């Protein structure tokens, strides 16, 4: 489902009595395309939170007013009603039109993380069908670009490397197919990851603390952050019988308050921010409940997203 004037018109049906006309939808779609171009990670997060909270983003509102004046668009529309829709459309366009597959995966993760506000709270989403179409973006990124395997060749090259002398190893590596080498490294990383996972134990007496430590380990101590293609299964396996234990959000926050002192969290890392004492723009009842696996999955992806952003920033430097 492309984020185009048709989806924008569909979105407007949720917030206006008479939805956008075709002409207006086209004009506003063009405005949203402009906003999505060269969007930054920070801006993406701000717009995501603004539409979920159904609040007018000031910068977006100003840009909209300027656009209306320049293009002669009737700006006599209820801004309270349409700003969140435009913000949501820009977010979708940003995911779709990201410059690289890595950026696309990152934006989709940020969006998914923030959706806790809609799933567990009263966060607003005008077009859930279009939003849900972005969910598999990260998985496809992992499968298409972060998975390696050429089994027959792996064995032959592995044998060759293990049989060679240390002095000639570099030459062997240079001769080998890059894809095969990556596959071998991937297999090794996977093995190490499995060993690490098998060694994680859950203390059911301190379940929240245990979940936090488990997730932190899975993300920060994994041999490679993209190694786990099915974190849900990993989490369920580690939690065992505790998988469905119900936990309240205020219990989670109280147990982990200021566990992680991070100033620079993404606006979309809702749980991490709450744990760190930052609840600005977070509209979520403290009575909200999670299953243990559910909580772990939310935390895992928030931490993973933070790790990916950190790596991207280090690469840019």
Partner 1 sequence: MAAEIVNKPTDVLTGKSGTMTAEQTVQPTNEQTEVEMPKKPTVITDDPSALYCDALNELNINQIADGKAIVRVVLVGFEEYGKSTFAGSLYYNFFTKESFCDHVLYDSETYSGFERRILIRRMDIAPDIKSKRTIKGENPLLVMSLMSEPTGKYKLVISDRSGEDYSQFSGTLEEIADNQLLKVADHVIFFVDSVKMTENFGKLRYSYKNFLNELVNKDLLGKNAQVKVVFNKYDQGKAHQEYSEKKKQAEAMFSEVLGTDRKYDVFEIDSTGASDRFASVENLTKSFLLGTDVTISKKKKLLDWVNNELNG
Which residues lie near partner 1 (CB under 8 A)? 13, 15-19, 54, 74, 76-78, 80-82, 84, 112, 115, 118-119, 124-125, 128-129, 131-132, 135, 232, 235-236, 291, 293-294, 297-298
Min dist. Cβ of residue 45 to partner 1 (A): 18
Q: Tokens 């979940």 sit at which residue?
A: 211
- The smaller minimum CB distance to partner 1, of residues 91 and 157, is found at 91
Residue 100 Cβ vs partner 1, minimum distance, rounded to whole Å: 22
Cβ closest to partner 1, residue 293 vs residue 309 = 293
Nearer to partner 1, 181 or 273 (CB): 273
Rounded CA gap, 239 and 245, in Å? Answer: 10
Whole-number minimum distance, CB 315 to partner 1, in Å?
A: 27
SS3 55: coil
> Considering beta carbons, is residue 110 or 180 the nearer one to partner 1?
110
| DSSP assignment letter at 291 | E
Residue 33 or 291 with smaller CB distance to partner 1: 291
- Provide the 3-class DSSP secondary structure of residue 247: strand
What are the C-alpha distances in Å from 15 to residues 117, 156, 211?
19, 61, 39
Count of beta carbons in the 10 Å neighbourhood of residue 270: 27
Cβ-in-10-Å burial (0-12, 13-18, 19+) of 207 comes to: buried
Least distance to partner 1 from the beta carbon of 52, Å?
A: 10
- Closer CB to partner 1, 63 or 81, in the complex: 81
Tell whether the torsion through CA atoms of 216, 221, 225 and 227 is positive or negative.
negative
Q: How far is the CB of 302 from partner 1 (least distance, A)?
A: 11
Burial of residue 160 (CB within 10 Å: 0-12, 13-18, 19+) is: middle
Q: To the nearest whole angstrom, how small is the minimum distance from the Cβ of residue 233 to partner 1?
A: 9
Beta strand extents in the chain (DSSP E only): 246-248, 289-291
CA nearest to 258, candidates 276, 270, 273, 274: 276
Q: How far is the CB of 311 from partner 1 (least distance, A)?
A: 23
Distance separating alpha carbons of residues 110 and 199, to the nearest angstrom: 30
Q: Which is nearer to partner 1, 225 or 236 (CB)?
A: 236
Assign residue 285 a region (left: φ > 0; alpha: ψ between -120 and 50; beta: otherwise): beta
Residue among 181 and 292 whose Cβ is closer to partner 1? 292
Query: To the nearest whole angstrom, how small is the minimum distance from the Cβ of residue 122 to partner 1?
Result: 8
- Torsion sign across C-alpha atoms 232, 52, 63, 14: positive
């Amino acid at each position: 489902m492309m984020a185009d004037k048709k989806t924008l018109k569909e979105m407007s049906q949720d917030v206006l009595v008479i939805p956008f006309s075709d002409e207006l939808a086209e004009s506003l779609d063009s405005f949203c395309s402009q906003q999505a171009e060269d969007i930054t990670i920070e801006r993406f997060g701000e717009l995501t939170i603004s539409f979920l909270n159904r609040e007018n983003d000031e910068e977006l509102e100003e840009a909209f007013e300027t656009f209306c004046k320049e293009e002669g668009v009737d700006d006599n529309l209820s801004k309270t009603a349409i700003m969140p829709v435009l913000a949501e459309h820009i977010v979708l366009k940003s995911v779709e039109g990201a410059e690289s597959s890595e950026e696309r995966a990152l934006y989709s993760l940020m969006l998914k993380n923030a959706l806790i506000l809609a799933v567990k709270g009263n966060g607003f989403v005008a077009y859930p069908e279009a939003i849900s179409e972005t969910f598999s973006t990260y998985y496809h990124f992992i499968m298409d670009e972060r998975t390696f395997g050429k089994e027959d060749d792996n064995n032959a090259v592995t044998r060759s490397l293990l049989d060679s002398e240390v002095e000639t190893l570099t030459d062997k590596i240079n001769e080998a197919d890059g894809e095969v080498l990556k596959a071998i490294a991937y297999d090794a990383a996977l093995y190490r990851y499995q060993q690490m996972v098998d060694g994680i134990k859950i203390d059911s007496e301190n379940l929240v603390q245990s979940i936090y430590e488990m997730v932190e380990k899975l993300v920060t101590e994994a041999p490679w952050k993209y190694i786990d293609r099915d974190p849900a299964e990993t989490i369920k396996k580690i939690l065992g019988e505790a998988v469905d234990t119900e936990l309240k959000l205020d219990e989670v926050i109280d147990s982990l308050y200021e566990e992680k002192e991070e100033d620079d969290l993404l606006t979309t890392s809702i749980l991490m921010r709450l744990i760190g004492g930052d609840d600005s723009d977070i509209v979520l009842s403290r009575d909200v409940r999670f299953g243990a696996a559910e909580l772990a999955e939310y935390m895992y992806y928030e931490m993973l997203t933070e790790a990916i952003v950190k790596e991207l920033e280090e690469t840019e430097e």
